[in-house]
Structure 1
Amino acid sequence: MEQSWKQAKAVFATALSAPLVWLVLFFLIPLAIVWAYSFGHNEGLTQIAITGTFKNYARAIEPLYLKIFLKSAGVAALTTGLCLVVGFPVALAITFASQRAKTWLLLLIMLPFWTNLLIRTYALIAVLRNEGYINKGLEAGWNLAAKVMPLQPFQPLEMMHTNFAVIVGLVYVHLPFMVLPLYSALDRLDKSLLEASLDLGAGHMRTLFKVVVPLALPGIASGVLITFIPALGAYLTPDLLGGPDSQMIANVIERQFKRANDWPFGAALSFLLMYLTFVAIAVQALVSKGRKGATA
């Protein structure tokens, strides 16, 4: 008589024990220590007294830091919106491509994950800087036009160390996080519904917005969530591409742990960011549950 996998509890316990111990030792315990630090204060240069105070959280919602939180959320929302606008047509094109082309297109989407983020960001710096490829191309075109008509000397576009550079960098980094969930949702669509819509005279654009988009809403919601959360906590891209006015909340947290040596306040900022993440996940779960209930 064959034994059901559900009855093989010893096998599951053995398989689960090693990753569970690793998760507790190297994730949950360090996270709990940092969370405890958020309720403490510095005593000297190296000691932290955990007293249960909420002063760090009260300081974190002061206007100065609240403004940075709101700006970070706005930048993350703009990044997510741009990724959705760019990523949806890309995912749609991959869905309706031939099987061979689909494989290559998915490979191109996954290719950035095979390269270190730091290297990709420095590559983007080579594109955006004053002596970068964009300005060199514009300068070449400007010089050609100057041979035909009198023009002032070319002035390079100031793109580095601006909010524009941060947005471009974040979209560049997070676009695959949007495309893959969208493709996963679109690839499962019943193509006969699209054919029926077109046969009934809806047209391509109306079919797209009235049939494709509603059916792809679970993928859109997933893509928005897994794009918005990493963009909200982005550190490297604003640090390398942004200027003093382009810093996000992750950069402020880094300064608290390193330069300011104020670990309790940095921990409070970190966990406020984590709480916002939990709120976003809860909202997405409630929306998905409500949609399932409405369609049931």
Structure 2
Amino acid sequence: MDTSPPDLVVLASRVRYEEKRIMAALDRRGSRFTHLDSRSLSVTAATDRYAGRVVLNREVGHYRAWYAAEALEAAGARVVNTAAATHLSGDKWLTSAALLRHGLPTPRTALAMTPEAGLKALAEVGYPAVIKPLVGSWGRLVTRVTDEAMAGAVLEHVAALPSPQSHIVYVQELVPKADRDIRVAVVGGRALGATWRRGEDWRTNVARGAVSEPCHLGPELARLAVAAAAAVGADIAGVDLIEDGDGRLTVLEVNDRVEFRGFESAHGDIDVAGAIADLLITKAEA
């Protein structure tokens, strides 16, 4: 009987649909793995406790996911996605900067160090615009502003927030679009497929009630999604894009711990969990 620790680890504090699907896919492939609750994780510096282990990082919270990845890598693990990728893709400004460095289309963006400077940044970007928190998901605290008066009121609230990081203002132009955006699932440098996400709210997040529908994955869409994931160093990503009024594609965000329930429901025949399991097994065997 093999009593050695499994080579594969699924790190997650919450076992949701996606984690259950990935674990089931590993089971079907006969791969031994262990589930590690990140809330119980502690790593002593200068040890090799996790040497040779491949860890899939599915922690929901950005900071815990980032620091867990950093600690596990320091202890010898290969983390998917890497700590660097988690750090980049979890911060909207760092993501925008990475996309621009790689020459990828993304909306005009500015960063202001204070809420007061935020008005200047918005004037340069132009109205209508969007004020976003640097770290966050599911469309929370994302605010559309149409003029300086509205922006001033929003930034007054931002200035009252207790966290110093919250006072750094990330603003982005609001690209005219239809009531939908595009999510592309990328695993191991390959675009698996795409979905439209439609909703009544201008924020077309599935978590806010948007509905996923199959979207044709053309070569340009696939190329942009794969390039965006590579720009932040992510092996596994959900890349969000939109089409402007002229049909031009632009990259909005890269999500490193991607949720894919809506994606799999829309397609039925695309097994994202299986692709992730195959990637982990390949890395463990390398």
Report the structure, 1 or 2, having the larger helix content: 1
| Structure possessing the higher radius of gyration over alpha carbons | 1
| TM-score normalised to structure 1 length | 0.25
| TM-score normalised to structure 2 length | 0.25
Report the structure, 1 or 2, having the larger strand content: 2
Larger RCO (CA within 8 A; separation ≥ 6):
1
